[in-house]
């Protein structure tokens, strides 16, 4: 599994300005069945650590602040 070097290279993007992980939120990390969302040591916010995704959407749907954006590939739409 390739390690994601740049946040823009992965399909799930977290808006750091909206993410409230510093207040203890772990919703997206907890709901992801593939366990690919992590807490960044650098920013303290959630991010996609591995470019592996089922596009099942609970991370985006359940985030209390709307910080998660899942970019579904064109071919899957």
Element (H, E) at 44: none
H helices present in the chain, as ranges = 27-31, 58-62
Q: Which pair of structure tokens corresponds to residue 13? A: 């993007």
Q: Does 22 bind ligand SF4 (CB under 6 A)?
A: no
d(CA 59, CA 76): 18
Among 7, 41, 50, 59, binds ligand SF4 (CB under 6 A): 59
Among 41, 46, 71, 75, binds ligand SF4 (CB under 6 A): 46
Binding residues (CB under 6 A) for ligand SF4: these are 12, 14, 19-21, 25-28, 31-34, 36-37, 46, 53-59, 63-65, 67-68, 70
């Amino acid at each position: 599994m390739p390690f994601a070097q740049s946040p823009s290279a992965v399909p799930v993007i977290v808006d750091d300005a909206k993410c409230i992980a510093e207040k203890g939120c772990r919703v997206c990390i907890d709901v992801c069945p593939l366990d690919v969302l992590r807490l960044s040591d650098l920013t303290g916010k959630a991010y996609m650590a591995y470019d592996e995704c089922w596009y099942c959407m609970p991370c985006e749907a359940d985030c209390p602040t709307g910080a998660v954006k899942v970019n579904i590939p064109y071919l899957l739409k």
